[in-house]
């Protein structure tokens, strides 16, 4: 039986056209971009072209785009710089953030560099905007608000423009983990009231280990890796050229096909939802799945039975790849901090199905048939 891959929020397969764009930089175009001779100029040019491509798509200035090793580094950089360079002594975040955010914030609290407040979460998994307003109004010190654009486990999308406007009102710094949305939704950084956003190539059919940090031009932070003068003295180290080229190509492809791909993938999500409702008694869905939600993610809660406890394990045996949550490492679907923060029912078995342009309805039919045997 062929493998069925429904874990695209974790990572996506590389688009063959992206690989093609990267290949010359893994072979003949190997020069160090800091070198002055032709080999170096060639790769320097590739990096700067990639930066221009990314900036144009996000409607940002090229000088606002920094290439990093991915979402985790970008988020850590934004949060650490806000505290250490921009004077934010208080952080407002939510319990539903990715560990890249939560663990970074916890570390700053542990070292005594910042205090944290967690904004209230509504039962549908959205953050309580009134509570955010109240927390901002009550803060005496300069605040960093770090709230993700879309939740990787339940798919909920936060209105970042609304959050940004609140931050503006209270003169707070706003960082958003946009790893699940860059490459899937349009961004206009000239209009959005935000200081930092992040992106990760492997979430939209680009390579792993490369991402971006957008830093608004009005923000000045210190270098985040010290050493050579790469990335305009901000992030030292010889550049991941093929990764950077692949990131830009993947973003270009994703953007030019966004309308068709998103419609197709949304169709898959709705089809899976319908099929599950028809075939699995007691199934329900986490988050605002029919409202402000990623078209790529469907978080399904299955009733607890003897068999459903080992659902992910059994899916794996049947060559079906899906996930239980970011903290889930075993076959059992326990351990998701997101599900436990919003769940009304601790006995549910949660499986996150997440789709890409490479999935089909036929695959969904196979998975639902298998699930019927497993519950």
Give contact residues for ligand PLP (rule: CB under 6 A). Answer: 70-72, 98, 100, 148, 152, 177, 179-180, 200, 211
Q: Give one word for 125, left, alpha or beta, with left for phi > 0 and alpha for psi -120 to 50.
A: left
CB nearer ligand PLP, residue 198 or residue 255: 198
Q: What is the total residue count of the chain?
A: 375
Nearest-angstrom CA–CA distance, 195 and 152:
21
User: How far apart are CB 177 and ligand PLP at their closest, in Å?
Assistant: 5
Is 68 in a helix, a strand, or coil? strand
CB of 272 to ligand PLP, least distance (A): 20
Q: Alpha-carbon distance 60 to 178, whole Å?
A: 15
Active site residue 321: no
Minimum distance from residue 249 beta carbon to ligand PLP (Å): 17
- The torsion angles phi and psi of 307, rounded to 5 degrees, stand at -85, -30
Q: Which of 322, 371 has the CB closer to ligand PLP? A: 322
- The pairing of strands 115-118 and 90-93 is parallel
What is the sign, positive or negative, of the torsion defined by CA atoms of 18, 22, 24, 26?
Answer: negative
State how far the Cα of 136 lies from the Cα of 121, in Å rounded to an integer: 16
First CA to last CA across the chain, in angstroms? Answer: 21
In the complex with ligand PLP, the residue whose CB is nearer, 21 or 156, is: 156
Which of these, 255, 179, 185, lies nearest to 214 by C-alpha position? Answer: 179
Distance (Å, whole) CA 325 – CA 290: 20
**Considering the complex, what minimum distance in angstroms separates the CB of residue 98 from ligand PLP?**
4
CB nearer ligand PLP, residue 117 or residue 200: 200
Packing angle, helices 160-169 and 129-138, rounded to 10 = 20
**Interatomic CA distance for residues 256 and 280, integer angstroms:** 37
Nearer to ligand PLP, 90 or 202 (CB): 202
Say which of 88, 104, 167, 328 is annotated catalytic: 328
Q: Smallest gap, in angstroms, from Cβ of residue 328 to ligand PLP?
A: 13
Give the separation between CA 155 and CA 304, rounded to whole angstroms: 22
Least distance from C-beta 183 to ligand PLP, angstroms?
Answer: 12
| Alpha carbon distance 109, 116 (integer Å) | 7
Q: Are 212 and 54 in contact (CB under 8 A)?
A: yes
Place of tokens 């009005």: 218
Identify the three-state secondary structure at position 141. Answer: coil
Q: In the bound complex, what is the minimum distance in angstroms from residue 200's beta carbon to ligand PLP? A: 3
What is the C-alpha to C-alpha distance for residues 234 and 237, in angstroms, rounded to an integer? 10
Phi, psi of 318 (to 5 degrees): -90, 15
Active site residues: 328
């Amino acid at each position: 039986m062929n493998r069925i891959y429904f874990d695209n929020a974790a990572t996506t397969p590389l688009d063959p056209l992206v690989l093609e764009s990267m290949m010359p930089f893994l072979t003949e175009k190997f020069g160090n971009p800091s070198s002055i001779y032709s080999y170096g100029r060639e790769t320097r040019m590739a990096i700067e072209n990639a930066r221009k491509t990314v900036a144009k798509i996000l409607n940002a200035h090229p000088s606002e785009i920094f290439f990093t090793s991915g979402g985790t580094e970008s988020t850590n950089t934004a949060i650490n710089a806000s505290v250490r360079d921009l004077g934010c002594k208080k952080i407002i975040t939510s319990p539903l953030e990715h560990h890249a955010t939560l663990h970074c914030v916890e570390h700053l609290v542990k070292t005594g560099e910042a205090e944290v407040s967690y904004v209230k979460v509504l039962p549908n998994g959205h953050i309580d905007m009134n509570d955010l307003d109240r927390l901002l109004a009550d803060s005496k010190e300069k605040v960093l608000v770090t709230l993700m654009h879309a939740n990787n486990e339940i798919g909920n999308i936060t209105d970042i423009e609304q959050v940004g406007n609140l931050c503006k009102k209270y003169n707070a710094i706003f960082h958003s983990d946009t790893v699940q949305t860059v490459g899937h939704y349009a961004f206009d950084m000239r209009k959005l009231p935000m200081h930092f956003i992040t992106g990760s190539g492997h979430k939209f059919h680009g390579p792993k280990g490369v991402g971006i940090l957008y830093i608004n031009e009005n923000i000045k932070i210190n270098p985040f890796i010290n050493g050579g003068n790469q990335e305009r003295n901000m992030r030292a180290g010889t550049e991941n050229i093929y990764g950077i080229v692949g990131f830009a190509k993947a973003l270009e492809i994703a953007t030019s096909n966004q309308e068709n791909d998103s419609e197709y993938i949304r169709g898959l999500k709705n089809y899976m939802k319908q099929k599950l409702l028809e075939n699995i008694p007691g199934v329900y869905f986490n988050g605002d799945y029919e409202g402000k939600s990623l078209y790529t993610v469907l978080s399904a809660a299955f009733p607890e039975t003897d068999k459903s406890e080992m659902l992910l394990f059994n899916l794996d045996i049947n060559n079906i790849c899906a996930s239980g949550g970011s903290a889930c490492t075993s076959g059992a679907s326990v351990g998701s901090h997101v599900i436990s923060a919003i769940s009304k029912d601790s006995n549910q078995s949660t499986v996150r199905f997440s789709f890409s342009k490479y999935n089909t309805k036929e695959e969904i039919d196979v998975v639902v048939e298998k699930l019927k045997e497993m519950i």
